[in-house]
Structures are given as structure tokens and as C-alpha cells.
Amino acid sequence: MDRPVAPSPSTSLILAGGVCTILLAAALFVPMLAGDPTALDPYLLRMTIAAAVSTAVLGIVDRKHLWIPGALATIIIGSATLWLWLMDVLPHLHPSVFHDPDVAFTLGILAQCIATLAGLLLLGKIAPECRRWYARVQHLSLPVLFTGVGAIILFTLVTFLLPASLLGRYAVVPGSLGTMPVVLLAGDALQGMVQEVQFRGALLSWLEGTVRPWQANLVQACFFGLAHIAIVFYAGPGIPLIPLAILLGYAAGWLTQKTGSLWPALLLHAFIDIWVSLVIVPGLYGMG
């Protein structure tokens, strides 16, 4: 009797990714279709629950392969949900200490970092194929650091060359340099770094064990770009933000693959988030 043919890794990836995407999209958009005026608030909580459900469903179907994308989505989205929840809760717990929203923002990001690392380390214990990114964190050298610095310089030059309208802003405002509190800039840097661990670390490394490297990079970049969709709904810098985020995600993934290290992308993303707060955001919609 012929044995049933097991699905190939690529087929498993498509199936698992399709299930996760459908459930996450439903969590995001179905309340809007039903006329919920707060469909995107708290959208992250809905998507976290959807990701956890997809993990459970896919785990029942195939414990070895299919549940991992759902688990990664749960860690990525759930940690962001924790961050937003803490930003809202901390000022009420101790108003005299956490009255500054910048402090609450940074502490929330710090909690997100801890939750992300704890979740990924636990996932690595359960699924050894999710540990590949560890080696890229451990690979740190002077050439790697120089590559990160070079990427930062190139990004800075491109920022000033891009048309202002493409970023949804009226101007870049260098005069805002030095006006942001240090605690906020520290939070921005941590936010960029934790996203690199999530997308160019855990997600990209796992995908590389399932599909070709360039396909893995493209998939993670697309998911990274779509993760910024809520900013558009909240009247952010507009639709061009999504393809720009995809492009930046792909570039960061390319850097990670070429150097064999996560550090160039970590440094670049930390700089980008600080740069956005210092220079880009003050020029949004003529605010500068």
C-alpha cells in the first residue's frame, strides 16, 4: 500500500501562511464591515487572539510545521499588544512617576522587548528550527559594524533626496534635532531593534529553512510592510508608507543575509526610528 505523500515545506508554508493571513485579516477588517466605529481599537488585541487561535488550529493539523507561523505571529503581535496596554495602564498605576507619556512609551517598549525575547526563546526550545537567528546575533565584528554605519549614512542621504510628498510630509525639519527627550529616543531605538529581532531575526531565519533565501526575504518584507497598515488607518503618512516599509524590510533582510549578522539591521532600524522622531515627524502635514 502506498504511503500518503507528506506536503512539501513550501506547501506547508503556503497553507500555514494562508490560514494565519485569513484569520488576521478577519480580525482586522470584519468589525469594520459590521459597522464597528472602533474596528481598529483595540485591533492588536483582536489580531493577537486570532494569531493564537490559528496556532492552536494549525498545531492540531500538523504539530511539526504548520503551527510555527501562527506562533511567530502571536509573539510579534502579542508583544505589541502588551506595549500598548502598558502605555495606557502605567499612568494610572502611579501618576506621579508615569505621568510623562514618553516614560510610559519607553517602559512599554522595554516590556515588549522582554516579552519578545522570552517568547522566541521558548519557541526555540520547542522547535529547534526556530533557533537559526541566534547565530546571527552572536556574529559581531568590525566589518559588520562598519556595514551598519554605511547603511545609516546611505539611508540619511536617501531621506533628503526623496520627494517630501512621498512620505506624506511637507518638509524635513533638521531644526528639531536635540529637542526630543532622551527617554523617548531610547524607546524609539528599542522599538526598531525589537522589530529586527522579530522580522529579520526569527521570521526570516525560519523562512530560510523552508523556502529559498530570496523568497524568505521577500515574504518577511511583505509582512513587515503590512504590519504598518494600521498607521495608515490612523491617518498616518499615507499609503506610500507601506511600500516604503516593504522596501526597507527587504533591504534590512538583504543586509542580514549578506553579512550573516543581525547587527547591521539592528543599528539601521534603531537609527531610522530615532531619525523619524527627530526629523521626519516634525515635518508631517506642515507641523514643522
Residue 30 has pLDDT above 60, yes or no: yes
Residue 39 has pLDDT above 50, yes or no: no
Q: What is the pLDDT of residue 27?
A: 63
| pLDDT tens per residue, range 94-103 | 776 667 778 8
Helix (H) or strand (E) holding 77: helix 67-93
Q: What is the pLDDT of residue 77?
A: 83
Say what percent of the chain tops pLDDT 70: 67
Question: Residue 183 burial (CB < 10 Å; 0-12/13-18/19+)?
Answer: middle
Cell numbers representing residue 240 in the block:
506610500
Tell me the whole-structure pTM to 2 decimals. Answer: 0.81
Say what percent of the chain tops pLDDT 90: 32
Q: What is the pLDDT of residue 235?
A: 44
Chain-centroid distance of CA 84 in Å reads: 14
CB of 204 within 8 A of CB of 220? yes
Question: pLDDT grade, residue 137 (50/70/90)?
Answer: very high
Task: Give the relative orientation of helices 182-196 and 101-126 as an angle to the nearest 10 degrees.
Answer: 20
